[in-house]
């Protein structure tokens, strides 16, 4: 089961000391306040940090979505205790809400990041540059995805302009409504890889997720005509 979440020979090698301790590998797929949902070979487990790891996390940072962890399972309860976090390959970080100096990891082990912007009136090159900078700094492969091409009069010209800012990373023109560019989008994903989408509210991230999954998994909202922006909509993915 965990192979579909990206488990590889490299993770297996890093996990060997924890396997000798009798622990089970898993990947965090949902982060909540006190509990973490972890995908394992025995199913999805609701998990909490061990006391030692909770103490260490005050300095090193808490486990987050995308982390590979070592855990022990409570038989018959569907719950587990996380004892260790495997080394991260990539990480998205931001400043903690209560500090200007402390950095907080918000997603780990991402392979590809789709930096999403729309081709309507909300297209903002400076803001796109900031998202791209975060993507490059994470260590993941960035791909610029320009959505809502059906709303643009000259989408290819707009894409060419954005390409000059994109530091050589791919720039894709997409319209989910017209089915344009989705094959090119999928070509940037390989089996076992993890993808993240970043971008402003209203650029079509939820619509893209639904298109990639082939089902309505994320809630979407219409764009406000007055300013071409959407309202943020979030829904956890199981």
pLDDT tens for each residue of 50-94: 999 999 887 668 899 999 999 999 887 779 999 999 999 999 998
Q: Which residues pair with 91 in a beta bridge?
A: 108
Q: Is the pLDDT of residue 153 over 50?
A: yes
Residue 96: which residues within 8 A CB-CB, separation 6 or more? 102, 103, 104
For residues 80 and 136, state if they share a domain: no
pLDDT of 230 reads 39
Domain presence at residue 164: yes
CATH at 76 = 2.40.50.140
- End residue of a domain, out of 105, 136, 166: 105
- List the single range of 138-142, 157-161, 216-220 with lowest mean pLDDT: 216-220
For residues 71 and 117, state if they share a domain: no
Beta strand spans in 109-166 (E): 112-118, 141-147
Span 27-32, average pLDDT: 93
Q: Is the pLDDT of residue 236 over 50?
A: no
- List the single range of 33-37, 38-42, 144-148, 181-185 with lowest mean pLDDT: 33-37
- End residue of a domain, out of 57, 73, 105: 105
Beta strand spans in 15-102 (E): 24-31, 36-40, 43-49, 68-74, 79-85, 91-95
Domain presence at residue 79: yes
For residues 15 and 77, state if they share a domain: yes
For residues 74 and 140, state if they share a domain: no
For residues 167 and 73, state if they share a domain: no
Span 190-198, average pLDDT: 93
Domain presence at residue 139: yes
CATH at 114 = 3.40.50.300
Domain presence at residue 226: no
> Strand 195-198's sheet: what is its strand order?
171-173, 141-147, 112-118, 195-198
Domain presence at residue 154: yes
Domain presence at residue 158: yes
pLDDT of 85 reads 96
Is-contact 104 82, C-beta < 8 A?
Answer: no
Task: List, in sequence order, the alpha helices (H) in 179-231.
Answer: 182-186, 205-213
pLDDT of 217 reads 61
pLDDT digits (tens, 9 = 90+) for 155-188: 999 999 999 989 889 999 999 999 999 999 999 9
For residues 138 and 188, state if they share a domain: yes
pTM of the model: 0.84
For residues 77 and 117, state if they share a domain: no
Number of domains forming the structure of the chain: 2
Span 127-153, average pLDDT: 94
For residues 138 and 71, state if they share a domain: no
Grade residue 22 by pLDDT with cuts at 50, 70 and 90.
very high
Looking up tokens 């994903």, which residue turns up? 189
pLDDT digits (tens, 9 = 90+) for 87-138: 999 999 987 666 556 678 999 999 999 999 999 867 889 999 999 999 999 9
- For residue 195, the enclosing domain spans 110-213
For residues 129 and 83, state if they share a domain: no
pLDDT digits (tens, 9 = 90+) for 1-14: 899 999 999 999 99
Q: Which residues pair with 103 in a beta bridge?
A: 95
For residues 86 and 114, state if they share a domain: no
Span 194-214, average pLDDT: 91
Q: Is the pLDDT of residue 237 over 60?
A: no
Domain presence at residue 224: no
Q: Which CA distances in Å does 7 have to 38, 51, 69, 154, 193? A: 13, 26, 11, 42, 9
For residues 7 and 58, state if they share a domain: yes
For residues 64 and 6, state if they share a domain: yes
Question: 223 phi and psi, to 5 degrees?
Answer: -80, 135
Domain presence at residue 229: no
């Amino acid at each position: 089961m965990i192979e579909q979440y990206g488990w590889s020979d490299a993770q297996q090698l890093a996990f060997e000391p924890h396997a000798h301790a009798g622990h089970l590998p898993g990947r965090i797929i949902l982060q909540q306040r006190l509990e973490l949902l972890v995908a394992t070979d025995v199913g999805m487990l609701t998990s909490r940090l061990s006391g030692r790891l909770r103490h260490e996390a005050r300095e090193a940072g808490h486990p987050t979505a995308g982390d590979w962890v070592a855990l022990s399972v409570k038989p018959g309860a569907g719950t587990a205790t996380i004892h260790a976090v495997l080394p991260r390959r990539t990480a998205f970080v931001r400043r903690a809400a209560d500090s200007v100096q402390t950095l907080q990891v918000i997603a780990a082990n991402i392979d590809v990041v789709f930096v999403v912007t729309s081709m309507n009136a909300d297209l903002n090159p400076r803001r796109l540059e900031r998202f791209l900078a975060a993507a490059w700094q994470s260590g993941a492969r960035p791909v610029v995805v320009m959505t809502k091409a059906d709303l643009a009069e000259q989408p290819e010209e707009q894409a060419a302009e954005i390409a000059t800012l994109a530091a050589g990373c791919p720039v894709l023109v997409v319209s989910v409504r017209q089915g344009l560019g989705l094959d090119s989008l999928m070509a940037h994903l390989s089996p076992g890889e993890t993808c993240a989408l970043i971008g402003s509210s209203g650029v079509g991230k939820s619509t893209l997720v639904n298109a990639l999954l082939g089902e309505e998994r994320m809630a979407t909202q219409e764009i406000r005509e007055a300013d071409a922006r959407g309202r943020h909509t979030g829904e956890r993915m199981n």
